[in-house]
Amino acid sequence: MTEARLARDYDIRFGHGLLKSDSANWGRYVVITTPSAWGATKDELNHEPAGVGYNEWLDRTHLIEVSDSLPDDIDLVVGMGAGRALDHAKLVAKRKDKPLVQVPTVVSTGAIIHGFVADWDGRQIIGQLAVVNCEYVLVDYDVVLKAPERLNTAGLGDVLCGYAGLSEWRRNAELGKTGPVEEEKTARAVALYDHIVTEFPKTLDDDGELTPASVKEIMDAVQARDDALIKDERAPGADHAFCFVVEIAADKYWIHGEMCALGAVIIAWRTNQSPETLTGWLDKCKVRWRPSDVEITREELGAGIAVWPKWMGDGTDGKPASPSIVVQEPMTEEEIDACWEWLNSN
């Protein structure tokens, strides 16, 4: 199987008008996209594609059906859109054995700098379908800045949510359940968080709006995240698990980075590790996390929290239970109510 390229090694090209100039060299190509992303990109292309496939969700059957509906006599596969479209494009490139170029219309997704495609059966990940390393990534500022602001700033939420793991480790160390937090394992993450919170606001224009420099700062942060991750079981990734469980429970999608940010805030609150620090960072970086802003109800939040322990690994499958507070101290309805009240009053 192909070995996934490291995020740091991705060739990401930034500039204005890149889609128009670069597409002149694409020959005969197909596009995997979504209706909104296609609307933002189609007029920027040098020539029309040989086919356009629209992603609706990540279920394996859907991905394959769309892929097989597109012509095989092509030179290139191009992904245009956010995470789902880019992941779908990887599988199409694999099935057609063609090179891949990724054109994100927002810079908030790790799919830009990851080659793997998860095998989704409905809304459950059951394995991995493929690993496809793209030729390069094209970040056209004129395209990305067309997107609603929150779809880009969510990328910083997808990085800053790592505060959840740090919160869990700190709490368990305070309780004597584990040794002290090891700075050599957390320093890169903390440095990245500090950099983002300090530098990103400087990129905004006088009206507080995103600029090309903002887009690059977000993309750079997403690319740097993998190297800065706290890779230790004492810092479990409950933040990302939260995003998955609320989507499974409600059978709908939210904006990934915003849900990861909300999950991290809940963990910081639950562990009593200065949740105000994290919410301050998120607000400074224009990342939505409040329930009303991300459009999640108390019922949806509670339904996700109810299945959170199972997703994290509660020990019922014969494997060791996760050390996360999500598993070790599952939230009661009263605690969820208290959390909900706190989230909506801060």
Q: What is the CATH number of the domain that holds 313?
A: 1.20.1090.10
- Do 322 and 182 lie in a common domain? yes
Nearest one of 296, 285, 319 to 108, comparing CA atoms: 285
Is 2 contained in some domain? Answer: no
Same domain, yes or no, for 61 and 156?
no
Do 167 and 306 sit in the same domain of this protein? Answer: yes
118 with 199, same domain: the answer is no
Q: Within this chain, do residues 176 and 32 fall inside the same structural domain, yes or no?
A: no
Domain contains 43? yes
Query: Any residues with CB less than 8 A from the CB of 94 and at least 6 apart, and which?
Result: 117, 129, 130, 132
Please report whether residue 1 resides in a domain.
no
Residue 285 lies in a domain: yes
State in Å, rounded, how far the first CA of the chain is from the last one. Answer: 47
> Do 55 and 185 share a domain, yes or no?
no
CATH number at residue 102: 3.40.50.1970
The answer to whether the beta carbons of residues 232 and 184 sit under 8 Å apart is no
Round to whole Å and give the CA distance between 73 and 325: 52
91 & 188 share domain: no
In a domain, 223, yes or no: yes
Domain boundary residue, one of 144, 174, 196: 144
- Count of domains for the chain: 2
pLDDT digits (tens, 9 = 90+) for 69-109: 999 999 999 999 999 999 999 999 999 999 999 999 999 98
Asked whether residue 97 falls in the same domain as residue 159, the answer is no
The neighbour count for residue 247, using CB atoms within 10 Å, is 17
Domain boundary among 87, 115, 144: 144
On whether both 222 and 162 belong to a single domain, the answer is yes
pLDDT reported for residue 52: 98
In a domain, 114, yes or no: yes
Specify the amino acid at residue 287: V
Residue 337 and residue 302 share a domain: yes
Q: What is the pLDDT of residue 84?
A: 92
Q: What is the mean pLDDT of residues 151-157?
A: 98
Look-up: residue for tokens 């189609």? 42
Rounded to an integer, the average pLDDT of 123-127 is: 73
- Chain segment 230-287, per-residue pLDDT in tens: 999 999 999 999 999 999 999 998 999 999 999 999 999 999 999 999 999 999 999 9
**Global pTM value:** 0.94
Q: Containing domain of residue 183, as a range?
A: 150-344
Statement to judge: residues 167 and 305 lie in one domain:
yes
**Would you state the structure tokens that stand for residue 77, as one six-digit string?**
């596969």
Average of pLDDT values for 311-333?
Answer: 93
Percent with pLDDT over 90 in the chain? 91
Q: How far apart are CA 26 and CA 314, in angstroms?
A: 49
Phi-psi region of 108 (alpha: psi -120 to 50; beta: other; left: phi over 0): alpha
In one letter, which amino acid is 313? G
In a domain, 98, yes or no: yes
- Tell whether 198 and 51 lie within a shared domain: no
Tell me if 62 is assigned to some domain: yes
Which domain-ending residue is among 99, 116, 144?
144
Per residue in 20-52, pLDDT (tens digit) is: 999 999 999 999 999 999 999 999 999 999 999
CB 136 within 8 A of CB 12: yes
